[in-house]
Chains A and B, each alone.
Chain A
Amino acid sequence: MKMPKLSASTAVAAAVCAALVLLPVYSAVTGNIFILTMFTRIVILALAAASLNLIMGYGGMMSFGHAAYLGIGGYAVGILAAEGFGSGFIQWPVALVVSALFALVVGALSLRTRGVYFIMITLAFAQMAYYIASALSRYGGDDGLTVYKRSDFAGLINLSNRTQFYYLCLACLFGGLYLIWRIVNSRFGLVVQGVRSNEQRMQAIGFHANRYRLVCFVIAGTICGLAGALLANNTDFVSPAVMYWTRSGDLMVMVILGGMGSLFGPVIGAIVFLVLEELLSQFTEYWALIMGPLLLLIVLFARGGIMGLLGRMSRG
């Protein structure tokens, strides 16, 4: 990430940010509540996609199990709520810490492998988390767990208020993006990116490649755990299905669609993917019939995703 020039991609990113900030105003003026609900979900999943982008785009770690953290963050909120701990000051830190610990274990073991093996082992760990959640019969098992009361922040912010909750999610997204931007441009981030392009060389000049990778992996898992806590509050519900491998696939699609390794790409990817899904499903019940080949065409003809396309356009 160099200093932002006023390229097409920067302009689009700025416009999208502005639109996201003004969305509740539009919703209030037109009385269109649906769009606010939809974009709350989009913003949350954009945060999850952005965290995946940190390890996938900048770190070169193709995790196929990233949805596990969505579930872990969600279950932390759901289980604590069910046990009578309604305060967000307890729920959210627990969600973050448990996600970080899970990422630490998964990362420490998975990072011994590379390439396709890494894709598969992260998938395996996510599937294990999925089966554990399915077996939690005390907390709904397969059917999932209803969160009867959203996280309580002692009157500081009311999560049941649609607009307040939307702005909270948006603040988390912008905060997450800022954090990722800072990480990517720090010495630590440069080492991680160096390891992605040439691991041997980085090892040779004295960096413990895997330690840097692992820390990066844990940070991404923690951010995604936050997205999970938000998601559980948004749907008032958490179920093992959140962690199913196709959900991890969805997150990957958002990242690649938007443009891997570009800071704002995953946000664009999440918006395009989820809006397209919504529009197509209004238009036809068989939306995936169009979405599927569309993904194929994007891979074949639009390398670097939407941000890559914009970048090429602005370069002429």
Chain B
Amino acid sequence: MYLVVEQLLNGLQFGLLLFLLAAGLTLVFGIMDFVNLAHGSLYMMGAYFAATFVGWTGSFVLGALMALGATLLLGIVLEFVALRHLYGRDHLDQVLATFGLILFFNDAVRLIWGPAGLALPLPAWLTVPVQIIPGVYYPAYRLMIIVVALLVAALLYLVVMRTRIGMLIRAGASNREMIGALGINIKLLFTLVFGLGAALAGLAGLMQAPILTVQIGMGENILILAFVIIVIGGIGSIRGAFMAAIFVGIIDTMGRAFLPDLLRKVLSGAAASTAAPALSSMLIYLLMAIVLIVRPEGLFPAAKR
């Protein structure tokens, strides 16, 4: 029972992290109609920046904030130099160009930080287990990820739904040409949205860094997961991304934790130990395939164009 609670929390934490990544992706996708494969690279850069800055400053929080700023800046520069010329292009062109960026970032990281992974050690105050309900302890750091991600999600909701910028973002998502015609500086808006997306990806990366190793290519697997999420949730819908991310996070984590035992009950030992890892890795792709077949627009499609 305790194990189930713990795994549920792990799933929630993973899902929220995925949401941070998917939110930026779905914003850029929904508003600029831009497929950004390099989003995972920004996630990776966030983690590398954090590992470096935390090393320099000796403070986890300060280093994390600096890394956040650096990823934001990197995103804005990237948008300004290269990506803004790709808006309105074919999706395929965008896929190819950002695929090139992935190659570039992976090798740039290898050149600067070396091929070996980095570790980002946690400060002592984040490593203690916290008693959440009597008898169940949960690592403080994972709890912090949940809290921070929920705060960011709430903030994002407020910004998008309650501020003027948010109104412009939503307007941009439903009709780009029109808000340009109304005298809004759409280029600046796009740059801002892209920067925001980059910062969110960086935040996800730097928060995940202490749990996993910081390494080259870390952004690629998780990028695919983020794409799965925005496709399940419905492209351009932040609410959909939120629901789908938590859904995917929990299913993936629970599948990995409990599927092997479940399979062992119905299959022979050898067959189960072969099938379980494949099935638990495939689970979310299976889910996406089913969702796309049943509801090709995703579960929570954004308002009709």
What residues make up the interface of A, taking CB atoms closer than 8 Å to B?
56, 62, 64, 109-110, 112-117, 119-121, 123-125, 127-128, 131-132, 134-138, 245-246, 249, 252-253, 256, 260, 286-289, 291-296, 298-300, 303
- Residues facing A in B281-305 (CB within 8 A) are 281-282, 285-286, 288-289, 292-293, 296
Given known pairs A117-B292, A119-B91, A249-B99, the reply for A300 and B107 (CB within 8 Å) is: no
Tell whether, in the assembled complex, residue A123 and residue B103 are in contact, meaning their CB atoms are under 8 Å apart: no
Asked whether any CB of chain A lies closer than 8 Å to the CB of B185, the reply is: no
CB distance from A142 to the nearest CB of B (A): 10
Tell whether, in the assembled complex, residue B91 and residue A299 are in contact, meaning their CB atoms are under 8 Å apart: no
Tell whether, in the assembled complex, residue A292 and residue B281 are in contact, meaning their CB atoms are under 8 Å apart: no
Asked whether any CB of chain A lies closer than 8 Å to the CB of B116, the reply is: no
Tell whether, in the assembled complex, residue A292 and residue B220 are in contact, meaning their CB atoms are under 8 Å apart: no
Asked whether any CB of chain A lies closer than 8 Å to the CB of B162, the reply is: no
Residues of B close to A121: CB separation below 8 A: 231, 288-289, 292
- Residues facing A in B186-235 (CB within 8 A) are 220, 224, 227-228, 231, 235
Main secondary structure of the interface of B (DSSP, over half): helix
Tell whether, in the assembled complex, residue A256 and residue B96 are in contact, meaning their CB atoms are under 8 Å apart: yes
* Contacting residue for B220 out of A119, A132, A246, A253, CB 8 A: A246
Residues of A close to B85: CB separation below 8 A: 300
CA distance A296 to B41 in the complex (A): 15
The segment out of B3-11, B50-58, B151-159, B270-278 that lies at the interface is B270-278
CB distance from A194 to the nearest CB of B (A): 19
Tell whether, in the assembled complex, residue A299 and residue B277 are in contact, meaning their CB atoms are under 8 Å apart: no
Q: What are 11 A-B pairs at a CB distance below 8 A? A: A112-B296, A121-B231, A128-B285, A138-B274, A245-B224, A246-B220, A252-B95, A288-B107, A292-B101, A296-B97, A300-B86
Listed residue (A246, A288, A300) with the most chain B CB atoms within 10 angstroms of its CB: A288
Contact with A along B252-284 (1 / 0, CB 8 A): 000000000000000000000111011001100
* Contacting residue for A286 out of B91, B111, B288, CB 8 A: B111
Tell whether, in the assembled complex, residue A128 and residue B103 are in contact, meaning their CB atoms are under 8 Å apart: no
* Contacting residue for B296 out of A117, A119, A123, A286, CB 8 A: A117
Asked whether any CB of chain A lies closer than 8 Å to the CB of B137, the reply is: no
CB distance from B53 to the nearest CB of A (A): 23
Tell whether, in the assembled complex, residue A289 and residue B96 are in contact, meaning their CB atoms are under 8 Å apart: no
With both beta carbons as reference points, the residue of chain B lying nearest to A126 in the complex is identified as B285
Residues of B close to A56: CB separation below 8 A: 92
Tell whether, in the assembled complex, residue A123 and residue B111 are in contact, meaning their CB atoms are under 8 Å apart: no
CA distance A115 to B119 in the complex (A): 39
Size bracket of the B interface? 35 or more
Tell whether, in the assembled complex, residue B96 and residue A299 are in contact, meaning their CB atoms are under 8 Å apart: yes
Tell whether, in the assembled complex, residue A113 and residue B296 are in contact, meaning their CB atoms are under 8 Å apart: yes
With both beta carbons as reference points, the residue of chain A lying nearest to B99 in the complex is identified as A249
Number of A-B contacts (CB under 8 A): 136
Given known pairs A121-B292, A287-B107, A288-B107, the reply for A300 and B96 (CB within 8 Å) is: no
Asked whether any CB of chain A lies closer than 8 Å to the CB of B113, the reply is: no
CB distance from B300 to the nearest CB of A (A): 14
* Contacting residue for A288 out of B35, B104, B278, B289, CB 8 A: B104
CA distance A132 to B278 in the complex (A): 5
Tell whether, in the assembled complex, residue B293 and residue A112 are in contact, meaning their CB atoms are under 8 Å apart: yes
Asked whether any CB of chain A lies closer than 8 Å to the CB of B102, the reply is: yes
Asked whether any CB of chain A lies closer than 8 Å to the CB of B161, the reply is: no
CA distance A260 to B92 in the complex (A): 10
Given known pairs A120-B227, A120-B231, A135-B274, the reply for A253 and B96 (CB within 8 Å) is: yes
Residues of A close to B95: CB separation below 8 A: 62, 64, 119, 249, 252
Tell whether, in the assembled complex, residue A292 and residue B103 are in contact, meaning their CB atoms are under 8 Å apart: yes
CB distance from A222 to the nearest CB of B (A): 22
Tell whether, in the assembled complex, residue B97 and residue A109 are in contact, meaning their CB atoms are under 8 Å apart: no
Residues of B close to A62: CB separation below 8 A: 91-92, 95
CA distance A287 to B89 in the complex (A): 27
The 10 A-B residue pairs with the shortest CB-CB distance, nearest first, are A292-B104, A295-B100, A135-B278, A292-B103, A288-B103, A288-B107, A131-B281, A124-B285, A299-B97, A292-B100
CA distance A33 to B91 in the complex (A): 40
CB distance from B214 to the nearest CB of A (A): 19
Tell whether, in the assembled complex, residue B110 and residue A286 are in contact, meaning their CB atoms are under 8 Å apart: yes
Residues of A close to B86: CB separation below 8 A: 299-300
With both beta carbons as reference points, the residue of chain B lying nearest to A134 in the complex is identified as B278
Tell whether, in the assembled complex, residue B289 and residue A125 are in contact, meaning their CB atoms are under 8 Å apart: yes
Residues of B close to A246: CB separation below 8 A: 102, 220
- Residues facing A in B97-139 (CB within 8 A) are 97, 99-108, 110-111
Residues of B close to A300: CB separation below 8 A: 82, 85-86, 97
CA distance A56 to B95 in the complex (A): 13
CA distance A288 to B37 in the complex (A): 16
Residues of B close to A117: CB separation below 8 A: 231, 292, 296
